[in-house]
Every structure is written in C-alpha cells, then in structure tokens.
Amino acid sequence: MGSLFDFDAVRHRFAVMGNPVSHSLSPRIHQAFARQSNIQIEYTAIQVDPGGFTQAVGNFFSQGGKGLNITVPFKHEAVKVANCLTDRASQAGAVNTLIWKSDQHIIGDNTDGQGLVVDIQKNIGVSIDSKRILIIGAGGAVHGIFFPLVEQHPAHIHVANRTVSRAESLVQKFSGKLLDTTTSFSSLENIPCTDPFDIIINGTSSSLQHKSLALPAQIIKPDVSLCYDLMYASQPTDFLLWAAENHCGMARDGLGMLVEQAAESFYQWLGIRPKTGPILADLERTLHAANDQ
C-alpha cells in the first residue's frame, strides 16, 4: 500500500461507462496494459443510469479523470459530450473513447473499426485488400466498422439487413467515400449466392440473444471464408457454429477486436502502444477454462 503522502501513487484515472457494465473486461485489459508499460493507473467500471450520462462524464473529468471508454447504450450520446470528434468518430456517428485535454476540450474518438481491422489482419492473418466482404446487420456497430474496412481496399462490400432500408441507408451514407470499393445491399433473405464471400462479419445482436440467422450456406467459400462475429462469449456463438458446420476456413469471435480497440484507446490516452498478443492469449485461456467447467 502506498504512503499516506504518496499522492502520485495513481497517476492516471480511467473508466468504462455503460449500462450494464459489470461484465466488462475493459478494467482487466487496461490494467494488464499498464503493468506491461510499467505505469500505474486506476481503471474502473461505472454503471450509469439512463438520463445521467452527461453528468457522469462531467463528474468523472472534474475529479481528475483522463479518459473514458463508452459502451452501450451511450455511444451515440457521447458524440454530444465531446467538444470535437476525430474523423473516424464522425464517420461512425458514435464515440467509444473520450480523451480529456483540458476543462473545455474533450475529444471523442471511435476505435472499434481500428480494433476489427487489426484483429483480422494482424492477429488472424487475413488481408482485407481485394476481398469480397459480407456484413450482416446495419446497426450502430456496423456504422463503426464500415469505413475502416473500406480504407483497406476490399473489392466489394455487401450489407444485408433484416430491414433492407437500413442497409441501403448505410451504403448511401458512405457512397462518396468508397475509394475503389464497390457496394451493394439486400435483405437477409436475398443475399446473393452466385459469388461467395471471402470475409463474412456478423454485426447483429443475434449472438447476444442466442438466435440463429437463416443464412444460405452458399455464401461461404469452403475452407477459405473467414466468418467473424463482433460478439464474444465463453462458448462459440450460434453464428460461428453455423459457419463451422458449413466448412468455413476460419471462425473467430470479437474478443480480439475488444483487445485491439482497447489498445488503441490506451495509445490515444497515454501515447503508449501496448503489446496485445499476451493479453489476448490470457483472455482466451480464461474463457476456454470457463467453458470447460
């Protein structure tokens, strides 16, 4: 325990805000980053009641907080709390990271898309360049990952959603920023099957609800396609089970994305780029152990 007069024992205060938030792995991840970097931080999980988000953020920063991660259901509300937004937060229309610069200057960032791209390309080893990508869903999570994927120059992105108008709206939102990527959209029932996809991303909440999606097996390239669920759990999600049953090349959940987006937040706050491999491996061991019990 630090001395009574050791006021600098904790130099940086951070937290994750959401509702619910008690299940969050963010405190564990960021404490691991801090130990690796030989710095002391305090990182807590703060559950915020509906209607109390703006005040909670103000209280946190007025009490010396340096940075916040924001999770559901406050990512859109966090846009209004920030004094300015990074380009990727503006593109996403949502904020998952708040960076304190001064009493009057809070930067809003979104590191979700960066986390996904790094996990796919560095950790899994699949290049996005020139690939055909299918994104299932058109909600807030997909808005956060769409443009970071476009920046990696895939050949084509198809968005399929239960409500087709939302898929169309998402594609149109980014229509002027597509670089060399072509796009299309459909309902879930009308996903084109003539040319299967290299990467299939489940961006819906179906895995949280333990619901299966009625997807045609023909969208998978046998032994090639990467099927990626933005959600993670101790057991394979229904989407990943479907992918394995239909002989995908690889099936991965969003745990790596969680760690990589956290690493990007840590870097934005402290200017330190942590090594994510050891932390990701430790979390995977923990989840597998829970699954075996």
Q: Just list the catalytic residues.
A: 75
Residue with tokens 């949502």: 94
Rounded to an integer, what distance in angstroms lies between the CA atom of residue 99 and that of residue 251? Answer: 34
Rounded to an integer, what distance in angstroms lies between the CA atom of residue 203 and that of residue 18? Answer: 19
Cβ neighbours for 170, distance < 8 A, ≥ 6 positions apart: 138, 142, 143, 146, 159, 161, 185
Other beta carbons within 10 angstroms of residue 268's beta carbon come to 16
Rounded to an integer, what distance in angstroms lies between the CA atom of residue 149 and that of residue 130? Answer: 11
98 in Cβ contact with 107 (< 8 Å):
yes
Burial string for 57-88 (b: 16+ CB within 10 Å, else e) reads beebbeeebbbbbbbeebbebbbebbeebbeb
- H or E element in which residue 132 lies: strand 132-136
Peptide bond just before 73 cis, omega within 30 deg: yes
Among residues 286, 266, 274, the alpha carbon closest in space to that of 68 is found at: 266
Q: Cα 3 vs. chain centroid, distance in angstroms?
A: 39
Other beta carbons within 10 angstroms of residue 34's beta carbon come to 21
